[in-house]
């Protein structure tokens, strides 16, 4: 049973445009929601993360919007650049028995056209 649903599967955006990736979760016990960015041949790298006590977090061109009542969160990439072309994974986590186990979405392949 997939607990974090991510959409879209792929996304093409023009340079300078806004990229939006959405995720929905089921387990209300999750308390940490990171976004990871993965370039080909590399491992996922933490991009930005949010906790459920805030509705938005912004770091540079990247913003997470969080809707606790709807159990949804999204990543917005403003002024998208060709260098942002990568696969993005959302995730949710909570501490269970001493382990912070991530539940990942299926990933979104973003391509930003020059």
Partner 1 sequence: EAGVTQFPSHSVIEKGQTVTLRCDPISGHDNLYWYRRVMGKEIKFLLHFVKESKQDESGMPNNRFLAERTGGTYSTLKVQPAELEDSGVYFCASSQDTNNYGYTFGSGTRLTVV
Would you tell me which residues interact with partner 1 (CB under 8 A)?
Answer: 2, 4, 6, 32, 34, 36, 41-46, 49, 89, 93, 95-107
Q: What are phi and psi of 104, to 5 degrees?
A: -95, 155
Residue number with CB closer to partner 1 (80 or 105): 105
Residue number with CB closer to partner 1 (10 or 28): 10
Residue 114 Cβ vs partner 1, minimum distance, rounded to whole Å: 26
Q: How far apart are CA 4 and CA 10, in angstroms?
A: 17
């Amino acid at each position: 049973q997939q607990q974090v649903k991510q959409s879209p599967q792929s996304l093409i955006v023009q340079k300078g445009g806004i990229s939006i990736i959405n995720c929905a979760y089921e387990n209300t016990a999750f308390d940490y929601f990171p976004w990871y960015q993965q370039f080909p041949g590399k491992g996922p790298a933490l991009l930005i993360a949010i906790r459920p006590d805030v509705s938005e977090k912004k770091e540079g061109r990247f913003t997470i919007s969080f809707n606790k009542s709807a159990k949804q969160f999204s990543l917005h990439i403003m002024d998208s650049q060709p260098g942002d072309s990568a696969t993005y994974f959302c995730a949710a986590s909570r501490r269970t028995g001493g382990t912070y186990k991530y539940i990942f979405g299926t990933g979104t392949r973003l391509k930003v056209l020059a």
